[in-house]
């Protein structure tokens, strides 16, 4: 039975059909399935399946990324209300778009996936100064600082990831955090993330969440 639920849910996500995904989840709940199992056995594996699909499917697209994140986030939120015990949080990330940048789509995709993967997300919004990324990361004991930038000047400028790195260095707290970046400029130059002082990047928001989870574990292990 679980296999058929997973199959139906994955198909709904792949077709970007939120209503169908919720129908599957509600039917599973009605049949007696626990909310915890829906999140850990259906929703999280579906996000991971989508990560693999994006990598190998040339027709994977922004609409799928967006809906994967939306569906995963909304289903998880609804299921968390029904959990018997609060789930264990993997870690924390502060996320925002770089100073001067008002594009929020990429950030929203990453946030949706991270919530489903049990990462606590502190959303700093758009047009965020470099110092605020650092201040909030410290205040919230985050492991990862995620800086989104859709334009070349906000990706490479002193007020973006480069500035975050500089401030971490000046304060002597570089080792406590990892910096990740995302956005269109990094897709056109895959080495650009190193130039701006980031520890990682991903070509899409869904796979960015996997990288962030890996970096959280790396920081916690160090």
What's the closest the beta carbon of residue 1 comes to another protein, in angstroms?
28
The site map against another protein for 150-169 (x = CB under 8 A) is -xxxx-xx------------
Of 24, 38, 54, 67, the one binding another protein (CB under 8 A) is 67
Within residues 201-220, the interface with another protein by CB under 8 A covers none
199 scored as a contact of another protein (CB under 8 A): no
What mask of x and - would describe binding to another protein in positions 102 to 121, judged by CB under 8 A?
Answer: xxxx--x-------------
Smallest separation, CB 156 to another protein (Å) = 6
Q: Between vectors from CA 211 to CA 54 and to CA 153, what angle results, nearest 5°? A: 90
Q: Does 185 interact with another protein (rule: CB under 8 A)?
A: yes
Binding site for another protein (CB under 8 A): 16, 18, 58-59, 61-64, 66-67, 70, 100-105, 108, 127, 151-154, 156-157, 184-185, 187-189, 191-192, 195
């Amino acid at each position: 039975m679980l296999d058929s639920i997973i199959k139906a849910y994955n198909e709904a996500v792949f077709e970007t059909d939120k209503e169908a995904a919720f129908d599957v989840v509600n039917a599973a709940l009605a049949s007696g399935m626990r909310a915890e199992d829906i999140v850990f056995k259906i929703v999280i594996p579906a996000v991971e399946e989508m990560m693999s699909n994006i990598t190998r499917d040339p027709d994977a697209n922004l609409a799928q990324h967006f809906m994967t994140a939306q569906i995963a986030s909304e289903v998880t939120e609804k299921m968390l209300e029904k959990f018997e015990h609060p789930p264990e949080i993997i870690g924390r990330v502060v996320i925002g778009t770089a100073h001067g940048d008002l594009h929020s789509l990429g950030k929203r995709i990453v946030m949706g996936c991270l919530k489903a993967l049990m990462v606590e997300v502190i959303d700093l919004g758009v047009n965020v100064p470099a110092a605020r990324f650092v201040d909030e990361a410290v205040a919230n004991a985050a492991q990862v600082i995620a800086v989104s930038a859709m334009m070349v000047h906000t990706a490479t400028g002193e007020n973006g990831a480069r500035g975050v790195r500089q401030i971490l260095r000046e304060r002597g707290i570089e080792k406590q955090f990892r910096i990740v970046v995302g956005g269109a400029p990094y897709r056109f130059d895959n080495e650009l993330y190193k130039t701006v002082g980031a520890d990682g990047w991903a070509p899409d928001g869904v796979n960015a969440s996997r990288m962030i989870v890996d970096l959280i574990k790396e920081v916690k292990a160090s």
